[in-house]
Structure 1
């Protein structure tokens, strides 16, 4: 098993910083394995939508950039156990609480014991 990749994450979550990083990502260019074409375009749009509607609340509730935007450091979203809530599937968030985000009939839990940590999707380098 390889050692985890060290990643500098925001010491204090900042939705402006997250939005700037996402807006700099090209929705027409895949950022990592597992996010391609229309799926990546949908994920990109729903990340921005989430920040508009729930960003401040997510910060207040303690959600981190890895909780929301994490991907595996070498295989992207292919390893979903490393992924944050907003990079999986491109569904629109319907609600948020301290430990979960609801996407219609799907719920993302951030407090899964033993869940590995990824890197932010914007930091993916292959």
Structure 2
């Protein structure tokens, strides 16, 4: 049985602090395994657009930084079951509700029973 990776999450979610962290990430430098080149650039841009359009609403609806920006602590997005809604795909969100974010033909559900938790993408250290 593996020991969960300790992670300090933001105790009071604030989409402004999330945006600051994402803006500090270099879109030309891969943050973790599985996100490289144009894919990472699309994901980075889509995260910023999401925060502009839905950031305050996401906080009000109870979405956390791990729900949105989580990645596996050792293998990044290669383990998609640990990933938050915004780190895979790089698509623009169409709408958000308390348990789902829709990306057109893809919907992310945050209330999947037994879903493992990752770490925020900006905390990835390999």
TM-score bucket (shorter structure): over 0.9
In the TM superposition, what whole-angstrom CA distance separates every residue of 1:43-78 from its partner, at most 9, and x where no partner exists?
000000000000000000000000000000000000
Gaps of 5+ in 2: none
Alignment of 1:52-91 (within 5 A): 52-91=52-91
RMSD: 0.5
| Aligned partner of residue 108 in structure 1, secondary structure | strand
For 1:115 and 1:12, the matched residues in 2 are separated by 22
For 1:32 and 1:123, the matched residues in 2 are separated by 10
In the TM superposition, what whole-angstrom CA distance separates every residue of 1:4-43 from its partner, at most 9, and x where no partner exists?
1110000010011100100000000000000000000000
Q: TM-score, normalised by structure 1?
A: 0.99
For 1:107 and 1:97, the matched residues in 2 are separated by 11
Q: TM-score, normalised by structure 2?
A: 0.99
Q: Which residue of 1 aligns with 2:100?
A: 100
For 1:102 and 1:15, the matched residues in 2 are separated by 19
Does residue 15 in structure 1 map to residue 15 in structure 2?
yes
Aligned length: 126
| Aligned partner of residue 101 in structure 1, secondary structure | strand
For 2:99 and 2:117, the matched residues in 1 are separated by 16
* Greater than 6 Å deviation, 4+ residue runs: none
Alpha-carbon shift at residue 2 of structure 1 (Å) = 2.1
